[in-house]
Structure 1
Amino acid sequence: MRLEFINNVREKDILGKSILTSEGQVLLKAGVKLNDNYINKLRKLGVFYLYVEDERLGDVEVEDEKLTELKQFTIKSMSNILADIHDCNGKKLMESLTDVEDMISYIIEIGDINKSLYDIKTYDNYTFIHSVDVCIMASFLGVSAGYDNYALNEIGVGAALHDVGKTKIPTSILNKKDKLTEEEFREIKKHPIYGSQLLKKNVSISNNIIKIVEQHHERVDGKGYPYGLSSKQIVPSAKLVCICDVYDAVSSDRCYRKKFRPNEAYELILSGSGSSFDQRMVSYFKNTFAIYPLGCCVKLSNGVEGYVIRQNRGFPDRPAVRVLYNSKTRETVPSFEVDLIKNTDLVVNSIV
């Protein structure tokens, strides 16, 4: 299947990957034949790209139905999780966290990021979607970093709860479209403290999970918040979640800005290595996640355009590309593949 910008999707295209609402419901299921009504509604919801089936790219698989189902359950559980935290109901919280832990366990089992990272997001209820996506990313990154299963569970739960303190911030500030005042921004920067305070009231939550929530906005150069901690003062799991939080945040639409393109978000993380982000964690990030999503159309430095069909581990900017048409005339040509690992004189110039 191929990844297509919404404006390039046509009637009768077949949806290749299910789209979830912010409440965890399936908005459109993979296999649905798209029409103008569906396409216009998706555009209004803020969906800018989606996967569609393409027989020329039939070997490009991006839908993992089991993970989609687990993600759906986890999103649905988030409201109960937050309520249980506020009520300090440890028993119910442990029950509510079961869906999160089941998803983490499945990620540990499959370890294949290409089936989960690039998902479709909508505007509404951003915090739930963002929290679950950060949980997924952090779990995959933790696997790559070599954490054991106990630590991976703490990392995943901490990532899912990292923004719990925002429930103490007025929605008028969280959803403000205009520039925040200095006072409003100071309040926003307190959400890690609020989150830590909430979790400390729940004896079932480990200290490491609390540290992740409290420190996920700290930076290794000491320029983060809320405490301005520097590298050795920040727990490693918080450094890991920090990277995933930033990457997913800038990859999503917000009320005050548009999302970054995948390569822009990726470069933001790499450029922050050693300053904003821990170098070792950025190295794991680079070896785990690729810059260009499977199925997306890219233009190479020789002018050829094609679709990413395979990632090369450890070389996030050098995927294998299948060329299907003449990039100048847009005429179909016999397909051929260009593996950028083998063709070192070529690079990806842009996403088309």
Structure 2
Amino acid sequence: MKTIQTSEIVKGMILSKDIFSHENVLFLSRGSILNEEHRKTLISLGIKYIDIFTDPEGNPFPEASRKNQEMLREKQFEKTYWEAVDTTEAILNRLTRTRKFDEKEMVNTIQNLIPLTLTAGTNLLNLLHKIKNRNESIFTHLIGVSIFSIMIGKWLNKDEPRLIELGMAGIIHDLGKCQIPSIILNKPGPLSLKDYQHVQKHSLYGFQLALESNIRKTSILSAILQHHERVDGSGYPYGITANHIDETAKIVMVADIFEALLANRPYRQPVNPFYAVEEIKAMAYNKLDPLIATTFIYRIADYFIGSSVALNNGEVGEVISLDRLQPSAPMVRVQDRIYDLRLEPNLKIIKDVVPPKG
């Protein structure tokens, strides 16, 4: 990679880092092929320097080399992701059998996840979408919650030790589900009241299991016990309110809701990410911590720019802009036409979203 002055942009150069406006809105995403119009616009916006891909001699990468670099990066992400899934499964199964928690191995796993999570940029949702479609399980859910918890922590300017803590909380927050029969967890239809009440106890089961396994860090224990609490007191197991809920639990609950909505469950199809963000938005000022929820909504919206989406009129287009107040109604370019979904009430993004461009 190489940093150059904006005035030095030449058609065909490839952007290596996302560019944000002064209002912190994504303007150009990593991987964009630059042209003269980009050069003029960036200069007019007062952006003086950008980063581009280069070869070992410092020359701009040709398109084929860029795609090769992206492919290698995706393969590394996938390798680290599945290693984290396998390690998590082994650690938690061992903990359940022996009541021994291998914290060192868990920390190593999270330390491998953090740099990949933070350097994937706006391609992260695409990578997770492609990977999870192959083999979804409780352990892919845990890694997903860990990744989103790390992202939220970074957006809240937490330091690395805190990011590791959040990553660990995300991985073991659902520890108690190992005490719930799989026939209940995987039931394709609505749960009976008895089964639902049993599932609700997983927070208590997990908390007890963590104590028996000598997990003593307050933030981790709080995430296990409180991730289904809500700031208005409507959650479980105790119905406590905002002042009594640990910050780690507040972060994990947002990550957990978003990841769960994106997941394919026995009783429903996955929700597309645009509407998943709407769900978070609907809870931002009554169920969730407002600062954490609004930070998540504001920052995750950047990850939708450049996404290819299927519309309910049969057309497929690219998201070119998004109003954070209406995340499910972006502006979509279809060939030479632009739809503003805020002004097209009958036009919707359908459930199956084509993965964003890599």
Unpaired segments of 5 or more residues in structure 1? 1-54, 327-337
**Distance (Å, rounded) in 1 between the aligned partners of 2:344 and 2:75:** 35
**Distance (Å, rounded) in 2 between the aligned partners of 1:314 and 1:151:** 30
Map residues 1-352 of structure 1 onto 2, 5 A cutoff: 64-86=74-96, 87-90=98-101, 92-108=102-118, 110=119, 112-116=121-125, 118-120=128-130, 121-122=132-133, 126-203=137-214, 206-290=217-301, 292=304, 294-297=306-309, 306-308=317-319, 322-324=333-335, 349-351=347-349
Which protein is richer in helix relative to its size?
2
Structure showing greater Rg? 2
Q: Kindly provide the CA deviation profile for residues 306-351 of structure 1, in whole angstroms up to 9, marking residues without a partner as x.
A: 213687999956867554367xxxxxxxxxxx698xx998999422
TM-score (norm 1): 0.68
SS of 1:69's equivalent?
helix
Following superposition, the deviation at residue 246 of structure 1 comes to: 0.9
SS of 1:306's equivalent?
strand
TM-score (norm 2): 0.67
Percent of residue pairs identical: 27
Q: Kindly provide the CA deviation profile for residues 70-101 of structure 1, in whole angstroms up to 9, marking residues without a partner as x.
A: 111101112211023222334x4422542233
Are the aligned partners of 1:305 and 1:323 in contact in 2 as well (CA < 8 Å)?
yes
**Distance (Å, rounded) in 1 between the aligned partners of 2:230 and 2:194:** 22
Deviates more, 1:316-325 or 1:73-82: 316-325
Following superposition, the deviation at residue 294 of structure 1 comes to: 4.0
**Distance (Å, rounded) in 1 between the aligned partners of 2:237 and 2:217:** 20
The one-letter code of the counterpart of 2:75 is E
Following superposition, the deviation at residue 106 of structure 1 comes to: 3.7
The one-letter code of the counterpart of 2:121 is D
Following superposition, the deviation at residue 65 of structure 1 comes to: 3.2
Unpaired segments of 5 or more residues in structure 2? 1-63, 351-358
The one-letter code of the counterpart of 1:112 is G
The one-letter code of the counterpart of 1:225 is Y
**Distance (Å, rounded) in 1 between the aligned partners of 2:197 and 2:315:** 48
Following superposition, the deviation at residue 179 of structure 1 comes to: 2.3
| Count of paired positions | 278
The one-letter code of the counterpart of 2:309 is C
Deviates more, 1:311-320 or 1:232-241: 311-320
**Over aligned residues, Cα RMSD in angstroms?**
3.5
**Distance (Å, rounded) in 1 between the aligned partners of 2:299 and 2:218:** 27
Following superposition, the deviation at residue 145 of structure 1 comes to: 1.1
**Distance (Å, rounded) in 2 between the aligned partners of 1:143 and 1:170:** 35
Closer, same or farther: CA 206–77 of 1 in aligned 2, 3 Å: same
**Distance (Å, rounded) in 1 between the aligned partners of 2:217 and 2:81:** 23
